[in-house]
Amino acid sequence: MEIVRTQSQEVSAQTFGTSNINVPLVIRCMSKLTVCASHFVRRRDFTVNRFLADLLEIKVPASKTPRNGVASKNVTVDSSTGVCARIFYPCSEGKVYTKHPDATKKQLPVVFYFHGGGFTFLSPNFLLYDNFCRDLARDMPCIVISVHYRRSPEHRYPIAYDDSYAALKWLQSTDQIHDLPCTADLSRCVLMGDSAGGNIVHHIGCKAAMEDLKPLSIRGHVLIQPFFGGQERTPSEILLVNAPIVSSEQADWHWKAYLPPNADRDHPACNIFGPRAADISGISLPPTLVTVGELDILQDWQLRYVNGLQKAGKEVDKIFYEGGIHGFHLLAHDKLAKQFRSDVFDFIQEHCQF
C-alpha cells in the first residue's frame, strides 16, 4: 500500500531545488542549532567530543509517578556492556509504575523503540524521545521499551545491532520479564525506530525472523525515515542540499564513524539492497511500514528500500509526508507529527489485532 499525504514524491522532488526550500522559521532555527551543535562535537578524524555531545543534549529522568498519564523506569539490559532501556507504561494519575497494575487493565502490545542520531548521538532520555515514547504509550496504548545501544565511533559496526538484538533476547529471561508490568503482551511486539534506529529495525528484524524468540512474537516493523545510503549520490541528495537537519556531509561522516575501517557506503549495513547485500527473499518478515519525508535528503534511499522489499516479496506499506523534514515525528504539536502518530497507530492496531 502507498499513501501520499497531499502530493506525490515525483512532484515534490522537482519542486525543491538547492535554495528555495520553504520551511517554518522555528524549524529553520532548530535546524541551525542542530547543525551547529553537530559541528562542535564531530571531529575531522571521525571521533566525537562525547562529554560536550552529552552536555548539549536536553535529558530528562525517568518518572515512576505518571507524567502526562505515563510512568517510566530505567532498566539494565546487560551490565557487562552498559546497554540499558527506558520502559514507558500508561497508568492513572496518582499511581506509580508497578509490576502489578489493576487486574482490570487489558493486555497491551509491546513496542521496542530504537532511537536515531546517526549511530553516534542521542539516547532514550533525550527530551524529544522521552516525550515521543510517552505519547506513544499513552495514546496507543502500549508498553514502550526504548533501547539505548552503545554508540559510535567508540563502538563501531556491528555493536549497535548486537546491543539492540540483546534487548530482544533479554526478555526471554523469566527474571527480566518481571521488569515489565504484568499487562505486557509479548505475543504482540512491534519493532520501531527512526533514522539510525530504523536501520537497526531492518537488521535485527531480519535476524529475529530466523530465530526462535519465544515468548516474543514480532508482528510488525515500523521504519521512520530510516538511515540508509550508498556510494551513489541520488537525486534527493543532490537537489535538497539546503534541507533541514541532515546533510550529505553529515550522513557521510556518520557512516565513516560507524562502518568498519576502510568500508565504503555500499557496505550491507548501509546499502540494504546494494551490490554486496544479502538476499532476504527467503526470510519471513512481518508486515513493514516505512515513512518518508519530502524534505529529507535520504528519501530516495528509503524509497529504494521499499522497492527492494516489494521485489523480495515482502508486505510493505509506505507513507510519504509532504513538507516532512528528517525527524518531524518528534515535533509533538506539529500537525504533520500528529498525522504521523495516527498513521502509525492504525498500522499497529491492524497488525497487533486490537
Catalytic residue positions? 195, 296
Q: What is the radius of gyration, based on Cα positions, of the chain?
A: 19
Residue partners of 214: CB distance under 8 A and separation at least 6: 172
Rounded Cα distance between 112 and 294, Å, is 26
Rounded Cα distance between 65 and 62, Å, is 9
**Helix residue ranges, H only, the chain:** 9-15, 25-41, 50-56, 127-139, 159-170, 174-177, 196-209, 235-239, 248-258, 299-311, 335-351
Rounded Cα distance between 2 and 314, Å, is 14
Q: Strand pairing of 184-194 and 108-114? A: parallel
Rounded Cα distance between 336 and 76, Å, is 34
If 0-12 CB within 10 Å is exposed, 13-18 middle and 19+ buried, where does residue 165 land? buried
Q: What is the DSSP letter of 116?
A: -
